[in-house]
Amino acid sequence: MAVTLRDVARAAGVSASAVSRAFTPGASVAPATRSRIMLASAKLGFQPNRLAASLTTGRTRLVGIVADDFGNPFFLRVFDLFTAGLQARGFRPLLVNLQAGTPATEALGMLREYAVDAAILISATLPYGFARTFRDAGLPVAHCFARANARPDVPQSGIDDAQAGRLAARTLIGRGYVSLGYLGGPQQTQPAQDRFNGFQDETAKLNMTIVSAYAAAWSFDAGRATMQTMLENGPCDAYFCADDVLAIGAISALRDAGLRVPGDVGVIGLNDMEMAGWAGIDLTTIAQPVADIVAACIEQTLALIENPGLAAEARIFPARLVLRGTLRPV
């Protein structure tokens, strides 16, 4: 059915090797031969099969994208950047949509079946050993949005969650909020803990105590439900929510309880996803430089493919305050 190398070879009156070389930049072919081959290819509609080529070259130019949070709108931008970025560099993304609890070995298997050149883990919630399973199997792997770690097991990129937490605390303190609350994502996830730690470090300097709670998921509903529970003991002056969606859910609960934001209570989120800036939401938040983080991750991944022995490095970017309308003025 499909046109093969040998069909073209026959049509152009050359050997199969010649056709292969015509499609390999820098290979030894006479210009006249090459153009004759290209002509025949165009006429027959030939397109080299990269998978067949991968058998000998050992490269598929396929990169596995492993993600487990398709609920958070923040990730749409991330997928866009990853897929476009890989595509621009001649790689094609193969998606693995991790259902909660899929073991690492199974995800690994799904990718090895297709001989991907590398895998990228896009997740803040994946357990710690996940990336290591991939690396130990000899598959180049990078972890995006992982916990900041000066000496990581695999290349990683993201923000320093503790720094983001400190920034949130300083921002709230600077506005004169006194009793502070923290609303995190699932407790077993690193970002939820690290953001809390940074937040607490800064408040502890002033001997402030903070209340905290962890939502069951990084979602609107979980944020809303958790805030409702927190409110049973009365509201704080302001809350740091470890994620924008969580923050929006929390605000919904606050307003339902008759509290005005920012009139009665301040809220600051994290991520600066697109809709944080939408009217009706207008959320003050801490931004991750997503484009930089993704670009760094792609760079790390491709470097690792070139040189599998490369030492793992952490690319950590600063988080940045984005002021909108959910905190009172200074």
Partner DNA sequence: GCGCATCTTGCAACAGGTTGCAAAACCAAT
Partner DNA sequence: ATTGGTTTTGCAACCTGTTGCAAGATGCGC
Residue 76 interacts with, from DNA, a second copy, none (CB under 5-8 Å by kind): a second copy
Residue 289 CB partners (closer than 8 Å, separation 6+): 159, 317, 318, 320
Instruction: Determine contact, residues 134/96, Cβ cutoff 8 Å.
Output: no
Residue 99 interacts with, from DNA, a second copy, none (CB under 5-8 Å by kind): a second copy
Residue 79 interacts with, from a second copy, DNA, none (CB under 5-8 Å by kind): a second copy
Among 16, 48, 213, 328, binds a second copy (CB under 8 A): 48
Instruction: Determine contact, residues 285/322, Cβ cutoff 8 Å.
Output: yes
Q: Indicate the SS3 state at residue 304.
A: helix
Shortest distance, position 305 Cβ to DNA, whole Å: 15
Specify the length of the chain in residues: 330
Nearer to a second copy, 187 or 307 (CB): 307
**Residue 182 β-bridge partners:** 212, 240
CA–CA dist 27, 152 (Å, integer) = 40
* DSSP state for residue 126 in the 8-state scheme: S
Q: Is 48 in the site for DNA (CB under 7 A)?
A: yes
Per-residue binder mask for a second copy (CB under 8 A), 183-212, x = binder: ------------------------------
Among 47, 87, 179, 229, binds DNA (CB under 7 A): 47
Instruction: Determine contact, residues 122/144, Cβ cutoff 8 Å.
Output: yes
Per-residue binder mask for DNA (CB under 7 A), 4-33, x = binder: xxx------xxxxxx-xx-xx---xxxxxx
DSSP strands (E only) in the chain: 62-67, 92-97, 118-122, 141-144, 156-159, 180-184, 210-214, 238-241, 266-271, 285-287, 314-317, 320-322
Residue 16 interacts with, from a second copy, DNA, none (CB under 5-8 Å by kind): DNA
Among 6, 43, 50, 205, binds a second copy (CB under 8 A): 50
Residue 173 interacts with, from a second copy, DNA, none (CB under 5-8 Å by kind): none
Interaction residues for a second copy, span 213-272 (CB under 8 A): 220, 224, 248-249, 251-252, 255-256
- The one-letter amino acid code at 28 reads S
Interaction residues for DNA, span 139-178 (CB under 7 A): none
Q: Indicate the SS3 state at residue 215.
A: coil
Residue 211 interacts with, from DNA, a second copy, none (CB under 5-8 Å by kind): none
Number of helical (H) and strand (E) elements in the chain, helices listed first: 12, 12
User: What are the residue ranges of helices labelled H in 104-183?
Assistant: 104-112, 129-136, 161-174
Q: Name the token pair of 29.
A: 């072919």
CA–CA dist 87, 170 (Å, integer) = 40
Residue 210 interacts with, from a second copy, DNA, none (CB under 5-8 Å by kind): none
Crossing angle of the two packed helices 104-112 and 129-136, in degrees rounded to 10: 40
Q: Is 35 in the site for DNA (CB under 7 A)?
A: no
Instruction: Determine contact, residues 111/96, Cβ cutoff 8 Å.
Output: yes
Nearer to a second copy, 51 or 323 (CB): 51
Q: Is 229 in the site for DNA (CB under 7 A)?
A: no
Per-residue binder mask for a second copy (CB under 8 A), 88-117, x = binder: ----xxxxxx-x---------xx-xxxx--
Residues that bind DNA (CB under 7 A): 2, 4-6, 13-18, 20-21, 23-24, 28-33, 46-49, 52-53, 55-57
Residues that bind a second copy (CB under 8 A): 1-2, 45, 47-52, 54-55, 58, 60, 62, 65, 70-71, 73, 75-77, 79-80, 83-84, 87, 92-97, 99, 109-110, 112-115, 137-138, 220, 224, 248-249, 251-252, 255-256, 274-275, 278-281
